[in-house]
A and B are shown apart, each in its own frame.
Chain A
Amino acid sequence: MIGVALKGLLGRKLRATLTAIAIVLGVAMVSGTYILTDTIKSAFSTVFTRVYRNTDAVITGKSAVGEENGNNERETRPTLPASLLPRVQALPGVAQASGGIADRAQLVGRNGKVISHGGAPALAFSYQPGAERFNPLSLQRGNWPSGSEQVAIDASTADKEHFPPGQRIGVIARGPEQFFTIAGVVKFGGVSSLGGATMAVFTTPTAQQIFNKVGRYDSIQIAADHGVSAQQLVREIAPLLPAAAQVRTGQAEAQKQTNDTNGFLNIFKDFLLAFGGVALFVGSFVIANTLSITITQRTRELATLRTLGATRRQVLRSVILEALVIGVLASLAGLFAGLGLAKGLNSLLVSFGIDLPQASTVFATRTVVVSMLVGVIITLLAALRPALRSTRVPPIAAVREGSVLPPSRLARLGAYPAAATTAGAIALLLLGMLLSGASTGTRLLAIGVGSVVLFLGVAMLAPRAVPALARVLGWPSARFGGIAGSLARGNSIRNPVRTASTASALMIGLALVTFVGVLAAGLRTRFESAVDEVFIANYALTSSDNFSPISIASANALRAVPRVEVVSGVRAGNGRAFGSKVNVTGVTPDVGRVISVKWQAGGPRTPELLGLDGAFVSKDYAHEKHLHAGSPIALLTPNGATVALAVAGIYAPPKGGAPYGDITISAARFDQLYTNPQNVYTFIDMRGGVNAANTHALKAALAGFPDAKLQTKSQFKKNQLQGLTLLLNLLYVLLSLSIIVSLFGIVNTLVLTVFERTRELGMLRAVGMTRRQIRRMVRHESVITALLGAAFGIPIGVVLALMVGVAIKYAAFTVPVGTLVVFVIAAVIAGLIAAIFPARRAARLNVLAALQYE
């Protein structure tokens, strides 16, 4: 019996392949994600292991606020006093110890712009002669830097930007651009790429100088004497350390840094896996539908088996076995397709400005196990209903033409299960939307689960809606498509369950794309109106990537420009108050002249009156911590100092985004408390407002700051939304995978339908329908199915976006009509593409053979 089932599968290669593709794509996404993130993790691990290869112990600054992942850590972490180094060197077990600086410094290209490869960091290190054992870099050409005029840069920048040793290059550290002579070209051993990161290496005194760290180090690396263990060394060093410092073994530090990046990569992995999950969910619809059609077409065969004595269980097993084989083969194919997809995903990310280091491909056992399991289980689950259906094929179908399967127990309940499922989904969604007591996370979870259930519910209800809806959506076909269009409309209504199921797969992808589009439009509207409300300056200044902090020197350079009235920067950092982390911002007294917010306590003059001990807080924070004017706040800063502040005002930010953090103090106080104060943005007000002369004057003053970007209000809005636009486009690309899966669903259904209607098509050809008309008929049916998918999916997407918008509070409800029209057109085009292959097959039928077909 197993042999019979397998031979049956072999006999239906095309159908099996069409079924499998739906799973291949989803599994490829899963395996590709694992391969990509594992490879990146391994690259990072190689990097960090190499950095601390010869280091037995490392002393670093310790933020009192708590460790944090992300780019800011380096810059906000407290530094170490240089006086610590000789005390460490004097310890008995220490063979060698060396202090170093690790910071960020951008290199300026020949075009006068900051060199940046896909958003990768611009790293800066110090070079200490005689401490080679601690140096992870190797010299490719030239020499290590010596003296305050020299720098060594990374090989990739040197080659791509044509900076050979001997040339001068601009570097941006803390202040304006400074020029150095390139002494040599270095490479980070071990990995081929550091993810496009640029590197600048200075002598230690130079690095201390340009990063405002004179008399300080970022880290001290220590090698132990022979016979002294790393743990022993750590124990010896620990008592010497000030409060804002910590010591770890080299191995532990490498592990910690690896873990930090892994934390980020795991989020990234889950993000990508979610799209694999969506593709598999859609794929399960496609498989269920394809198998279901196949079973209908095999009714005669299954019935014959039953008359020959096959039990229901045997029929069930043969269908399940078939699904199992398809699942295993498809998952295997997907697993290996993931290798290619990992590369594709990487290039996709690079094109979206996310460049991550790469090493040799990592193909973990976990990748194999998870991909295979997920693929096979989804296939089997999807096959369950068709398999149960196959057991209802009565033996008498072997001798009777067109016998109909008896309805299942579920079907006998009519529309109730579908209605109940949909109602359950709507209840969950409303709960997520309106349950104000719960956390945003809980509410989003309710909405997430609700949407999955909603998709199932709508898919179950869809067959009932298809006849009426297809008649409407097929009207243009019937009206303008001639006989082919009319027949196509009729065909799409002929088997509503099948059409509905095919359209449902597309519905999911379209709903998600719509959801993302509508939500993004809402966020955009809110943000823009927030900027309109807050931004009362003439110009804004940010770093060229729109989000990195920028040196205060750039703002200061503008103060001397004629006609400038106000230059006010906003510093940002973090701290700890009332037992939890807070965002802290620092503002100059005149900030009220460039940023306007509503005040619940205090007023527009509050920033002027902050002094050293005053603070203003956001409305939500005040509400959460029960603060009012005069309330004391004990703020712990990363350096370990606790300062006593008093609430001087409470501001109410607009919904689309706050210009300040939870707690805002004066810039003067901020600069005292934070190691490395920088502005996140600076606003400028000028006499005459925005005009060519003013713009020119400001730009001239910024000539020494290639990383500074001057912009007007509308440019600022656009630039700040760039991240959202980028994310939106990335989401569209990733969601297109599930739409492609559903397109294969349409292809499957059409191919199988054409196969089923062979005799009918032969008859149509015999009575004079041309091949072209046949092709057109299939195309029309495909487009009608795609439009049904859009008709179900787009409204669901709009509703989901509305609900999430309410749950997260930030989004306005805006329906981007233009975008939605584009989606409908895209659905039509998708339908036309899906029809190409089936239409060809239908038109190719030999009339005579088709008529004789039994």
Chain B
Amino acid sequence: MSFRDGATGRAAVVAAADVTRRYGEDATAVDALRGVSLRVLEGELVAVMGPSGSGKSTLMHILAGLDKPTSGSVEIAGIDITALDDARLTELRRDHIGFVFQFFNLLPMLSAEENIVLPLTIAGERPEPEWLKELLARTGLEHRSSHRPAELSGGEQQRVAIARALITKPAIVLADEPTGNLDSKTSGEILELLRVSARTYGQTIVMVTHDPRGASIADRVLFLADGQIVKQLGTTSAAEVLEVMGALQ
């Protein structure tokens, strides 16, 4: 399968076509997504924005294979994930997807470094020492690597989570409100880390956020409202994003 983008020649890491998601049945049914199509190219940092209830979290869950679309197709790294069984999906997540969560989701009994290499541990692999060192340096965790999550600040915990998402060099990192649980200054640091990772390692990242500053670091911003993509912006500024958001409310 080829997903070469005509303009740039880069491969599409994510390709979703006409995705709908309906929760419940009949009268009480809620349409969270009503026909969303998007493509994310290799090395792209895409931000998905939208007010609460716009369907952005649902879109993220479907892209991650955590939730199944009611109709439409989703391909990750060239694999149609809507047809995969649990075992294959697990394998896909393990090998091709990195996650960054709003609430960090670190394992409390593991040290920062153990948390970072956890996806490799699960896969029964060992980290490349160079790559681990590079990630620890990049996230500024060299001297905190043996600390438990409880001993780390919120920002540090999220940096651990980002390193964990990058350690397997996945096809795509999905970040779900990565700054949603952080103060303003720390949020800035985390967004900067994501931006640098995307640039330096050519890492493809899709980030759901409602932080306008988050959108400002993205190559592309998708605006979701009522389950549909209503606007797209290229590289933009926080101010412009705020304006669009204001219009959507």
Q: Which residues of A contact B (CB under 8 A)?
A: 1, 3-4, 7-8, 10-11, 300-301, 304-312, 314, 394-396, 398-399, 854
Q: How far is the CA of A312 from the CA of B99 in the complex (A)?
A: 18
Partner of A4 from B91, B101, B121 at Cβ < 8 Å: B121
Is B176 within 8 A of A309, CB to CB? no
Chain A residues lying within 8 Å of B195, measured Cβ to Cβ, are: none
Q: How far is the CA of A396 from the CA of B110 in the complex (A)?
A: 22
Query: A4-B107, A394-B66, A398-B105 in contact; A306/B90 too (CB < 8 A)?
Result: yes
A772 nearest CB across to chain B (Å): 31
A303 nearest in chain B by CB position = B105
Chain A residues lying within 8 Å of B121, measured Cβ to Cβ, are: 1, 3-4
Chain A residues lying within 8 Å of B109, measured Cβ to Cβ, are: 7-8, 10-11
Is A308 within 8 A of B99, CB to CB? yes
Is A307 within 8 A of B86, CB to CB? no
Is A399 within 8 A of B87, CB to CB? no
A607 nearest CB across to chain B (Å): 82
Is A309 within 8 A of B124, CB to CB? no
Partner of A312 from B64, B67, B86 at Cβ < 8 Å: B86
Query: A4-B118, A399-B176 in contact; A310/B90 too (CB < 8 A)?
Result: yes
Question: At the interface, yes or no: B103 with Cβ under 8 Å from chain A?
Answer: yes
Question: At the interface, yes or no: B213 with Cβ under 8 Å from chain A?
Answer: no
Interface string of B85-102 (1 = CB under 8 A from A): 011001101110001011
Is A300 within 8 A of B90, CB to CB? no
A606 nearest CB across to chain B (Å): 83
Is B123 within 8 A of A307, CB to CB? no
Is A311 within 8 A of B61, CB to CB? no
Is B124 within 8 A of A1, CB to CB? yes
Query: A306-B90, A311-B87 in contact; A300/B122 too (CB < 8 A)?
Result: no
Query: A3-B121, A309-B90 in contact; A398/B101 too (CB < 8 A)?
Result: yes
B66 nearest in chain A by CB position = A396
Is B122 within 8 A of A309, CB to CB? yes
Is A8 within 8 A of B103, CB to CB? no
Chain A residues lying within 8 Å of B176, measured Cβ to Cβ, are: 399
Chain B residues lying within 8 Å of A311, measured Cβ to Cβ, are: 87, 90-91
Chain B residues lying within 8 Å of A8, measured Cβ to Cβ, are: 107, 109
Is B110 within 8 A of A4, CB to CB? yes
B86 nearest in chain A by CB position = A312
Is B107 within 8 A of A395, CB to CB? no
- Supply 7 further A-B pairs (C-beta < 8 A) apart from A395-B64, A398-B105: A1-B124, A301-B107, A305-B118, A306-B90, A307-B64, A307-B105, A309-B95
Partner of B93 from A7, A300, A309, A312 at Cβ < 8 Å: A309
Is B94 within 8 A of A309, CB to CB? yes
Q: List 24 A-B contacts (CB under 8 A).
A: A1-B121, A1-B124, A7-B110, A10-B109, A11-B109, A301-B107, A305-B118, A307-B64, A307-B93, A308-B93, A308-B122, A309-B119, A310-B90, A310-B94, A311-B90, A312-B86, A312-B87, A312-B90, A394-B66, A395-B93, A396-B67, A398-B99, A398-B101, A398-B105
Chain A residues lying within 8 Å of B66, measured Cβ to Cβ, are: 307, 394-396, 398-399
Is A11 within 8 A of B122, CB to CB? no
Q: How far is the CA of A651 from the CA of B142 in the complex (A)?
A: 96
Question: At the interface, yes or no: B108 with Cβ under 8 Å from chain A?
Answer: yes
B91 nearest CB across to chain A (Å): 7
Q: How far is the CA of A317 from the CA of B109 in the complex (A)?
A: 18
Is B122 within 8 A of A1, CB to CB? yes
Chain B residues lying within 8 Å of A306, measured Cβ to Cβ, are: 90, 93
Interface string of B123-147 (1 = CB under 8 A from A): 1100000000000000000000000
A14 nearest CB across to chain B (Å): 13
B209 nearest CB across to chain A (Å): 14
Partner of A307 from B57, B99, B103, B108 at Cβ < 8 Å: B99
Interface string of B208-232 (1 = CB under 8 A from A): 0000000000000000000000000
Chain A residues lying within 8 Å of B107, measured Cβ to Cβ, are: 4, 8, 301, 304-305
Q: How far is the CA of A306 from the CA of B114 in the complex (A)?
A: 16
Interface string of B109-120 (1 = CB under 8 A from A): 110001000110
Chain A residues lying within 8 Å of B105, measured Cβ to Cβ, are: 300-301, 304, 307, 398
Chain A residues lying within 8 Å of B87, measured Cβ to Cβ, are: 311-312
Is A310 within 8 A of B64, CB to CB? no
Main secondary structure of the interface of A (DSSP, over half): helix
Is A308 within 8 A of B61, CB to CB? no
Q: How far is the CA of A395 from the CA of B67 in the complex (A)?
A: 9
B113 nearest CB across to chain A (Å): 13
B67 nearest in chain A by CB position = A396
Chain B residues lying within 8 Å of A304, measured Cβ to Cβ, are: 101, 105, 107
Chain A residues lying within 8 Å of B86, measured Cβ to Cβ, are: 312
Is A308 within 8 A of B94, CB to CB? yes
Q: How far is the CA of A310 from the CA of B118 in the complex (A)?
A: 10
Chain A residues lying within 8 Å of B57, measured Cβ to Cβ, are: 399
Q: How far is the CA of A311 from the CA of B91 in the complex (A)?
A: 8
Q: How far is the CA of A11 from the CA of B109 in the complex (A)?
A: 6
Is A308 within 8 A of B119, CB to CB? yes
Residues 54-104 (chain B) with a chain A CB within 8 angstroms: 57, 61, 64-67, 86-87, 90-91, 93-95, 99, 101-103
B134 nearest CB across to chain A (Å): 20
Chain A residues lying within 8 Å of B67, measured Cβ to Cβ, are: 396
Most B CB contacts (10 A, CB to CB) among A8, A310, A314 go to: A310
Is A396 within 8 A of B99, CB to CB? no
10 closest A-B pairs (Cβ-Cβ)? A309-B94, A11-B109, A396-B66, A304-B105, A7-B109, A308-B119, A310-B122, A311-B90, A309-B93, A395-B66
Is B124 within 8 A of A11, CB to CB? no
A295 nearest CB across to chain B (Å): 15
B93 nearest in chain A by CB position = A309
B168 nearest in chain A by CB position = A309
Q: How far is the CA of A1 from the CA of B107 in the complex (A)?
A: 13
Query: A300-B105, A399-B61 in contact; A314/B122 too (CB < 8 A)?
Result: yes
Partner of A308 from B91, B118, B124 at Cβ < 8 Å: B118
Chain B residues lying within 8 Å of A399, measured Cβ to Cβ, are: 57, 61, 66, 101-102, 176
B94 nearest in chain A by CB position = A309
A391 nearest CB across to chain B (Å): 10
Chain B residues lying within 8 Å of A395, measured Cβ to Cβ, are: 64-66, 90, 93
Chain B residues lying within 8 Å of A7, measured Cβ to Cβ, are: 109-110, 114
A300 nearest in chain B by CB position = B105
Query: A1-B124, A309-B119, A310-B122 in contact; A11/B108 too (CB < 8 A)?
Result: yes
B164 nearest in chain A by CB position = A308
Chain B residues lying within 8 Å of A309, measured Cβ to Cβ, are: 90-91, 93-95, 119, 122-123
Q: How far is the CA of A6 from the CA of B229 in the complex (A)?
A: 46
Q: How far is the CA of A234 from the CA of B122 in the complex (A)?
A: 73
B57 nearest in chain A by CB position = A399
B150 nearest CB across to chain A (Å): 10
B116 nearest CB across to chain A (Å): 11
Chain A residues lying within 8 Å of B93, measured Cβ to Cβ, are: 306-309, 395
A427 nearest CB across to chain B (Å): 40
Chain B residues lying within 8 Å of A4, measured Cβ to Cβ, are: 107, 110, 114, 118, 121-122
A733 nearest CB across to chain B (Å): 41
Chain A residues lying within 8 Å of B119, measured Cβ to Cβ, are: 308-309
Chain A residues lying within 8 Å of B164, measured Cβ to Cβ, are: 308
Chain A residues lying within 8 Å of B90, measured Cβ to Cβ, are: 306, 309-312, 395
B198 nearest CB across to chain A (Å): 21
Q: How far is the CA of A399 from the CA of B56 in the complex (A)?
A: 13
A3 nearest in chain B by CB position = B121
A674 nearest CB across to chain B (Å): 76
Chain A residues lying within 8 Å of B102, measured Cβ to Cβ, are: 399
Chain B residues lying within 8 Å of A396, measured Cβ to Cβ, are: 61, 66-67
Q: How far is the CA of A483 from the CA of B99 in the complex (A)?
A: 44
A663 nearest CB across to chain B (Å): 74
Chain A residues lying within 8 Å of B64, measured Cβ to Cβ, are: 307, 395
Q: How far is the CA of A398 from the CA of B60 in the complex (A)?
A: 13
B161 nearest in chain A by CB position = A304
A404 nearest CB across to chain B (Å): 14
A766 nearest CB across to chain B (Å): 22
Q: How far is the CA of A307 from the CA of B173 in the complex (A)?
A: 12
